[in-house]
Amino acid sequence: MIKSEKIRAYLKERSYDAVVTPLFWLSAFAFIVYFFGKHNQDYVNTIIFTLFIMPIAYLTTLILNKYIIPRYLLTKRYLRFFVMLFYLIVVSLWLVTIVVLVLLLLFWNYSFTGIDPSNFEARFLITGLYFVVLAATAVKQFQRIIKFQRIREVEAIRRAETEIRLKDAELQLLKAQINPHFLFNSLNSIYGLSLEKSEHTPEVIMLMSDILDYTLYRCNSEKVTLTDELNLIQNYINIQQYRFGNLLNVDTNLKSINTDGRYIAPLLLLPIVENAFKHSYRAEDSISTITIQAHLGNEFLFIVSNPYSSITNNNRSGGIGIENLKRRLELIYKDGYRLNIDDKNSVYRVELLLKQL
């Protein structure tokens, strides 16, 4: 693909040069004839003179654009550039002198009298010749600038496309990590219920089936409705409440939130809630309370807090779930989020603020 693009760019550049270059030199020829011929209206001698010096102007321009500028000026070897430019000017003027001598011998019968433009002062010859060279060089350098700019733009687009593809691939990988992580935790919940021979086991399996259907099939787009995401959290809360029964109290307001058609990146909230249930401190003779609150206005604020014990919870960082969440937030929301985590006074608290939904 890249090679074919380079071939197309090369052919386009060659076709452009095939049109612009002849037009420029035809215009330059007309300019030289006008510049030298208007003095005495002797256009015959002027055209002959121009036909001889135009190859010198073309050769001078070719050497300057193809060799001296790329090799010395563009590589910042300025001293050598000016030395080579000086040599080029000297040689070109020497060639102009040779042309005048040839014309003197072949066309002007060994006499300068009344012959224009050969009897012009040197400054006129230099001005006419090097005005064409300067113009041709300027056109070539302008083409080179446009070409380099086009190359930079193409490279910038390719880098952006590559970054997007890498970002999408990383997001898909991070998202894929959530499913086995969630499945592992949920199976532990069902296993606990089965050991207790709980009558709620079928209901929990149905809830888990709905959650798996959502995580595997219904959240494959970049954004999902906030309603679906909060329903996912509520189903997960129900599973955990069936599992722990009266030993667990969940203080939540998720059912009362008016999501109003808002959208969110999928599976952002689940790792926070999972982490709260996984690391929450539960004693047999007391009730543990997990608080899960959501507030929606111009911004979306999601707060989860749970009690923990420094003795039973050595890893309070959240493991793969929270680390996964941090990376996904960086990729998706960049500067449009705030994630605060603290564990003061034996309470582990996570606050996630999304600035735009």
Q: What is the pLDDT of residue 292?
A: 95
The mean pLDDT of 251-274, rounded to a whole number, is: 87
Cα gap 118→100, rounded to integer Å? 6
149-153, 161-165, 306-310: range with lowest mean pLDDT: 161-165
Cα gap 75→162, rounded to integer Å? 30
Pairing of strands 263-264, 224-225: antiparallel
Q: What's the pLDDT tens digit per position in 218-240?
A: 777 888 899 999 999 998 898 88
The answer to whether 231 and 210 have CB atoms below 8 angstroms apart is no
Exposure letters 275-306 (e unless 16+ CB within 10 A, then b): bbbbbbbbeeeeebebbbebebeeebebbbbb
Q: CA angle, corner 294, sides to 289 and 300, nearest 5?
A: 150
Highest-scoring range by mean pLDDT, 7-11, 255-259, 263-267 = 263-267
Between 325 and 42, the higher pLDDT residue = 325
Residue range 160-354, CATH number:
3.30.565.10
Alpha helix ranges (H) inside the chain: 2-37, 43-63, 78-106, 122-195, 201-213, 226-244, 270-279, 319-332
Q: How confident is the model at residue 3 (pLDDT cuts 50, 70, 90)?
A: very low
Q: How confident is the model at residue 165 (pLDDT cuts 50, 70, 90)?
A: low
- Domain regions of the chain by residue span: 2-120, 160-354
The token pair that represents 53 in the structure block: 């010096």
Residue 45 above 50 pLDDT? yes
Between 168 and 249, the higher pLDDT residue = 249
Q: Which of 316, 306, 198, 201 is nearest to 249 (CA)?
A: 306
Q: What's the pLDDT tens digit per position in 285-340?
A: 678 889 999 999 889 999 999 988 765 554 444 556 788 888 888 888 888 999 99
Residue 40 above 70 pLDDT? no
Residue 119 above 80 pLDDT? no
Residue 129 β-bridge partners: none
Q: What is the pLDDT of residue 350?
A: 94
The answer to whether 53 and 129 have CB atoms below 8 angstroms apart is yes
Q: What percent of the chain stands above pLDDT 90? A: 11
